[in-house]
Amino acid sequence: MTSSYKIAAAIDIGSSAIRMKIAQHKNDHIDELECLEYPLNLGHETFTHGGIRFSTMEAGAEILKNYYQLIKSYNIPSEYIRVTATTALREADNRDYVLDQIKIKTDRDVTVLEDGQEKTLIFRETLRRLHDRNYKLPKTFLVAYIGTGSVGLAVAKDKEIIYAQNIKIGSLKLNEMMETISEHTIRPSYKVLEEYLDALTHMLKEQVHPLDVEGFVVTGKEVELIASILHIKEDDGKRTLPAKQLKKLYQSIREKSPSELMKIYNISQEQADILLPSLAIYRNLMNFTTTDSAIIPGVMLNDALLYRSLCPKEAKVLRKQFEGSIVASARFMAKHYHYDEDHAKATEGFSLQIFDNLKKVHGFSRRERVYLHVAAILHDIGKFISSKNHHKNTLYLLLNSSLIDITDNEMAIIANIARYHSDDVPDRSHDHYMRLSPKDRLTVSKLSAILRLADALDRSHLQKITELDLKLKENRLLFTAHSDKDITLEAWTFAYKSQFFEEVFGIQCSLDKKGFSA
Amino acid sequence: MTLNPEHYTNRELSWLDFNFRVLEEADDLRNPLFERLKFLAITASNLDEFFMVRVAGLKQQIDAGFTKADPAGLTPKQQLKMVSQKIHRMTNAQYKTLDALQDELSAMDIKIIRAHDLNDEEKAFCQRYFDEMVSPVLTPMAVDASRPFPQVAQKTLNMALRLSAPESEESLKALVQVPSILPRFLKFANTHRYIMLEDIMLLNIHKLFEGFKVKGMVLFRIIRDNDLTFDEDAADLLEEIEKSLKRRRTGNPVRLEMMDGFDKEGIDEELQDFLTTELNARKRDIYLIPGPLDLTFLFAFSSLKGFDHLRYSVRPPLQPSMIHAEQDIFEAIQEHDILTHHPYESFDCVVDFIVQAAKDPNVLAIKQTLYRVSGQSPIVAALIRAAQSGKQVTVLVELKARFDEENNIVWARALEQAGCHVIYGLVGLKVHCKATLVVRRENDGIRRYVHLATGNYNDKTAKLYTDYGLFTSRDAFSFDVSALFNLLTGYSLPPKFKKLHVAPTGLRTFFEGKIKEEIKNAKQGLPAHIMAKVNSLIDPSIIEKLYEASQAGVKIDLIVRGINGLRSKVEDLSENIRVISIIGRYLEHHRIFIFASSGDHDVYLASADWMQRNLDRRIEVLFPIEQEDIKRRIIEDMELMLSDNQKAREQQANGKFKHVKSKAWPIACQEELYKRLKARHKSDLSAPDVVFVPKKRLQDL
């Protein structure tokens, strides 16, 4: 195509429907051409039976074929078509067979997104749109995205996301829970639901409590349903949902059955099933914040995917900017584990300085720099459990945590880097290390080699070295530490830890000191 | 909703009133003679359809023991009784009209000659014709104890005969169908004298029964209740029966017509009794016809060559004023929205739009709803070419369009073979909206062109039906029409429409909301006015809302061509409502809805009438008019139509429609609209609109 516009399609195989959007980038703005939704209850099958039935998969393939037919009428190049699947397909026991069949039937691959990837895409697009549409936002706000299988929560402060969490209680899962509950109790099931959700906010409070979360941003198809029931209209491109209306609606429907709701609001069974649980979640989260109205930016997964296709340059910049959020949320997590902030900052500084000076040697990209940065921030959090084997505790904590914009595999890399900051070096007898791909193992080795040196330079946790000069001369890396204090401990540790560095990079390190000392 | 029956007119009776209005046109001396013949033919074919669908439906309700009253408070039994009485009156009126028309024809030496008035030469011709053409296709059937009464096909003309064998007292009965493959009437060379086929048979039929004597003959025609095909038009009558009981079809006639004075004065009573008994006809359903049966032959008669001076003067369709003749249609639409007004303006631009889209290499896809498309439709041909050249072509074919089905199936197959994606309607919903979408790749991106209309994509009826069409490339419209097709192809759930309102999901609520808004405005002392033009208004809930609005002080002007259940001008109910019905040269067909909206005037066009079937059982589309000049034009057209005092009939407080009394300057809106458009066409496009202002009445001066 020689034309000056881009056109792309994004398909999202979700838990209750398959959705497609087609949009073009024309005259500097994104122009939505098509928006489709076809119900398909994959979530129900995965969450209750574990897997997806063959007939359901076939129905899904039919829907996709229809969508591809429509795509044809816009002549969209293959590389501009993104087909993704989320929770329902990801968690299905038979996902590999399902994906294989879909590929055979439709002649096109489906990318399964991790939970974290999906949420990251949503949050990043949400922040962008909030900025784009000039929403007035308080310093700190909560972003909530309810999926059918899990709720994604993020707290943003000063335009960076500092905390993100996926909680496995989607609207559909809650609905199924409530159905079971109502068989066992005569109490109104909404009361049980409220208790359950109170426990959730309690947990959230423990994590985020130092902050006063002022704003509330909600996105996803559940809030779209609520907005249409409440006739929320756009005002200057912006939509807000008053807390009062939300609570009133919740109160008026909490004792109604889905079949009653279907009649009252003229909605489908699927919509009726998720209405009460999602309202309950919103109400609960709204109470967690101090705001009296929620912002509805209307971001769906497909919007985020389309932006990446249509504005690749801008999306790249956005992704780079978002690294700030990764670092901020790593720091937020570290604080939670009472880390030694000064030591971490010194280690981060040295690590990144070494990384940047060795670009030609290690050949890494920006992304690996982020791994190193995050590992440097978090390398000591295991001490929160015990200083005994703290590096292993760090590994454990990280492998069981999530960070915004970090995939599970990336987290495993970071956890390994952090784990090897101390005595041990990577070893083929270490399970957690061997579970990584050979390429990722190499990444861990190289980055942990750097982290070990950086950590050594503040071995005493006293930030004795105020400045560091680095010089790479052939196979020698010269460290010159500026300090007015005695750095014997650091020098000794440095000498010991540089062995592994030399082993990995084939570069000998030496440390000189500049400055007075007692 | 509790309805007060006095506030409603029964649907069937209202429809019959409409047919009476059409009959008035046949009587109207201001109409050319041959057009009057055609109007008479229309009333006859309308009535046939009414019997087949509506009367048969009522009968089935009764047979099923259904006794629920309609909104006007009438049970099916009461309705059938009143309907029947009215049709008997109508039939009499039709033949009175025919007499008058024949007198006028005679005055011009155009005559339909009865058998006994033929001269010898003509008689000889008829004999020859019978022997050579008619006799070979006749199949006489005797009826006696061993040979039961044969199945008589509906709407065919048949002859019953009473025969006697020589030297025998016993009489024999026989039936012969008047062959429908032969022309119904014949012309005697070099004259304007005509004879009906049945009269040719009358003279010669004895030849078939050698050795017998023809004692009597009766010409008859029948429509039965089991001829009813269950379609959506009768759905309102039958859906409740469907639920409770299996439908019962008796096969009894809903109408038995017998010609009075066929072979002699009066009618052969023995044969009349015989037919009545054999066909199981009730007295009420028997129509003795004082003239030729089945007046639809007048369609052919009124189209006879050479009588142009007795027809409407030719009125060539104008080039649409908003499109320059040489202009590229896509460029024109890019510049601004385009409104076309058919049949005043040519339908060619719509055909051209599709043809050009089919040719254009930058067009990627064409999607269209086709409903009642003419046989050799140039649109279908263009779509086939488009598909053959690799474009994505999606066509929705609605096969439920009555009486057209075979025709539709043929070209639907052709479309499929060419590679079009053909969809045959939706389960349970008739697709009645008229929409086209063209996806075109342009330098700065994809642009989609939309055509929406109040009438079908039928180049034949577009010469007769008054309809609006709108071309636009506004993004929100394109998005909505795309989404509409995704709904029709079953690709997607109904989306949130940006501009369109679509039945059955959102149209009723839209109308109710708009009427409510006017009520609110009226109560606040703001301008409150509703102008609407539909073919039919029978939806009880809409009628209730309109009454409510009238009582709140909303001024309501309605143009309803056909069925109308609303009662206007009734004290304390509908004093602010005026209803007129326009019957003219063209079939009034556009659906227009204008709401004062506190002075902003929201103008909408639609494919839907105010009937339950349109709002609840069909896919219909209503679309707003956003471009100011088009809005103004439609409002002006509407005001002009409302001021018609020639072809408009106004409903009186007693429910009856009467010609608008006028001492003012005569306004026939169909004439004026043509003149107006012609003037607009002649004047520069940028020049101000030419508006005809009716002169004031003398007493007002």
* pLDDT value, residue B240: 54
Q: Is the CB of A27 inside 8 Å of chain B's CB atoms? A: yes
- Report the residue of chain B nearest A72, measured CA to CA: B392
Q: What are phi and psi of A427, to 5 degrees?
A: -145, 140
Look at residue B404 in the predicted model and tell me its pLDDT: 52
The C-alpha atoms of residue B633 and residue B677 are separated, in whole angstroms, by 10
So what's the pLDDT on residue B250? 58
What is the rounded distance in angstroms from the CA atom of residue B120 to the CA atom of residue B456? 51
pLDDT of residue B226: 63
In angstroms, the separation between the Cα of residue B395 and the nearest Cα of chain A is 13
pLDDT value at residue B353 = 94
Residue whose C-alpha is closest to residue A443's, from A379, A508, A355, A347: A355
Whether residue A73 lies within 8 A of chain B, CB to CB, comes out as: yes
Residues of B with catalytic roles = 432
Q: What is the DSSP letter of B82?
A: H
Give the helix ranges, DSSP H, for B11-55.
11-27, 33-50
B344: burial class by Cβ within 10 Å (0-12, 13-18, 19+)?
buried
Distance CA A502, CA A476 (A): 9
- Residue B154 neighbours by CB under 8 Å, 6+ apart: B52, B222, B223, B224, B227
* pLDDT per residue as tens digits for the range B48-84: 999 988 998 898 888 888 889 999 999 999 999 999 9
DSSP 3-state percent helix, strand, coil across chain A (nearest 5): 55, 20, 30
Q: Which of residues 384-443 of A touch B (CB under 8 A)?
A: none
Tokens of B47: 């009535």
For A225, which residue in chain B has the nearest alpha carbon?
Answer: B496
- Interchain contact, A228 vs B496, CB within 8 Å: yes
pLDDT, tens only, B24-47: 999 999 999 999 999 999 999 999
Between A167 and B489, the more confident residue is B489
A-chain residues near B446 (CB < 8 A): 5, 7, 24, 26, 33, 74
By Cβ distance, the residue of A7, A70, A228 closest to B491 is A70
In this predicted structure, what is the pLDDT of residue B145? 76
Q: Is the pLDDT of residue A378 over 60?
A: yes
**Position A315 pLDDT exceeds 50:** yes
- The minimal CB distance from B444 to the residues A26, A72, A228 is found for A26
Distance in Å, alpha carbon of A439 to nearest chain B alpha carbon: 42
pTM, entire model:
0.87
pLDDT at position A164 is: 87
Preferred mutation among A20, A34, A232, A302 to probe B, highest tally of B CBs within 10 A:
A34
Confidence of residue A150 (pLDDT cuts 50, 70, 90): confident
Of B481 and A221, which is predicted with more confidence? B481
CA distance A324 to chain B (A): 35
- In the prediction, which pLDDT does A211 show? 65
Chain B nearest-CA distance from A417, in A, is: 48
The closest alpha carbon to A146, from A270, A299, A318, belongs to A299
Which residues of chain A neighbour B393 with C-beta distances below 8 Å?
none
Chain A residues within an 8 Å CB radius of B394: 73
User: Which candidate from A27, A37, A70 shows the least CB-CB separation from B493?
Assistant: A37
Q: Listing from the earlier edge strand, what are the strands of the sheet with A6-13?
A: A29-39, A17-26, A6-13, A81-85, A111-112
Taking CB atoms and an 8 Å limit, are B491 and A67 in contact across chains?
Answer: yes
Q: Distance (Å) from the C-alpha of residue B482 to the closest C-alpha of chain A?
A: 7
| Predicted confidence (pLDDT) per residue in B523-548, tens digit | 999 999 999 999 999 999 999 999 99
User: Inter-chain contact A3–B441, Cβ cutoff 8 Å?
Assistant: yes
- State the pLDDT at residue B80: 95
Residue of B nearest to A5 (CA): B445
Percent of chain A with pLDDT over 70: 98
pLDDT tens profile A409-459: 999 999 999 999 988 999 999 999 999 999 999 999 999 999 999 999 999
Nearest residue on chain B to A3, judged by CA atoms?
B443
Instruction: From residue B501, give the alpha-carbon distance in Å to each of A513, B605, B611.
Output: 78, 10, 16
Other CB atoms within a 10 A radius of the CB of residue A360 amount to 7
| Confidence (pLDDT) at A2 | 45
Q: Which residues of A394-429 are buried (b: 16+ CB within 10 A; e: fewer)?
A: bbbbbbebbbbbbbeebbbbbbbbbbbbbeebbeee
- Averaged over A491-510, what is the pLDDT? 92
| C-beta contacts of B645-649 below 8 A and 24+ residues apart | B646/B30, B647/B582, B647/B583, B647/B584, B648/B559, B648/B580, B648/B581, B648/B582, B649/B21, B649/B580, B649/B581, B649/B582, B649/B583
Nearest to B479 among A7, A32, A228 (CB): A32
Ranges of residues in chain B whose predicted pLDDT is under 70: 1-2, 226-250, 374-375, 399-408, 682-701
pLDDT value of residue B199: 96
What's the pLDDT tens digit per position in B186-212?
A: 999 989 999 999 999 999 999 999 888
- pLDDT number for residue A503: 93
Q: Which residues are A512's β-sheet partners?
A: A480
Cβ-defined contact of A73 to B441 (cutoff 8 Å) = no
- Strand pairing partners for B659? B649
What the block records as the tokens of B333 is 């639409």
Q: What is the pLDDT of residue A49?
A: 84
Mean pLDDT of A448-473: 93
- Model confidence at A139: pLDDT above 60: yes
Q: How confident is the model at residue A193 (pLDDT cuts 50, 70, 90)?
A: confident
Mean pLDDT for all residues in chain A? 90
Per CB-CB distance under 8 Å, the chain A contacts of B443 are 3-4
* Nearest alpha carbon to residue A410 among A478, A326, A295: A326
Predicted local confidence at residue A350, as pLDDT: 95
Residues on chain A touching B490 (C-beta within 8 angstroms): 66
DSSP state for residue B262 in the 8-state scheme = S
> Which chain A residue lies closest to B506 (C-alpha atoms)?
A266
Distances (CA, A) of A333 to A208, B65, B359: 10, 77, 63
In chain B, which residues touch A (CB < 8 A)?
364-365, 392, 394, 421, 439, 441-446, 448, 475, 478-479, 482-483, 486, 489-493, 495-496
Q: A-chain residues within 8 Å CB-CB of B495? A: 35-37
Residues in chain A: 518
Q: Say yes or no for a CB contact (<8 Å) between A7 and B445.
A: yes
Contacts of A231 in chain B (CB under 8 A): none
Q: What is the mean pLDDT of residues A256-270?
A: 86
